[in-house]
Structure 1
Amino acid sequence: MKFPRFAYLLPVAALVLATATACEDEPTATPQPAPEALLVAHTWRLDETRLDGQVTGSGATVKDRYTWQFIRGGAYHQMLTADNTMTHGSWQLADKDVTLQLIDHKGELLGYTIKQLDASTLKVSWLRGAEVYENTYSAQ
């Protein structure tokens, strides 16, 4: 029995078809903005405070509630919502973008571990002694 001339192309065609079908089934990942882009895209309002997992303030009950505005290039503004008092400092991301480092208006270095950062929420935590503090900010 003689094979047609195109018979040798059948395995190649099957492979191409299988590859094309497999590619269609794979979900396409939506690229997430870089952490720096998310930080500078919004003003962040402090909406919840926790100490060792327990809520200590939420919404208007947060003591000394404030907002952060991060500026590309490393500056930030902090404004107390009670009286609009504004202070300024500098910031940077470290440790592969999981640590937010601030130098406040007094020159003190503050380090926060970023627990969540997306288009609507910034959640940071830090240790003071044996106590774990956590603040949640919402994008404005």
Structure 2
Amino acid sequence: EQDRVDKFADATNDHQWIHVDVERAKTGPFGATIAHGYLTLSLVSSFMPEIFEVRGFEFAVNYGTNKVRFPSPVKVGQRIRGGAEILSVEEAKGGILSVVRVTVEIEGEDRPACIAEPVSLYFPTK
């Protein structure tokens, strides 16, 4: 939705017309406004609990993200979904460090919007 894109533009100070100027974007390279790549990436955290459940941990922190790519833009109004594959899980820094490969797909498109490997540090319940 355009409102979410506009709010992200305000939060990040990224007001490129391809994101926020609906009229100009209609004649631009994508035919519509598009979500910021980093907005798409930020939605990954909302997909994760829907994809798999991690038990026995009080909380997790974002430790970083490996290999982020944005092969295809998400036009405002397009539906997306996430998929994930666990790449590694190991003990680290008083918790468990996991690396997951996430793919954000766009409904009706062949190429994904985002491929990334979020790294999370989970801290056990005390």
- State the TM-score, normalized to the length of structure 1: 0.26
Which of the two has higher C-alpha Rg?
1
- The one of the two structures with greater contact order (alpha-carbon pairs below 8 A, sep at least 6) is 2
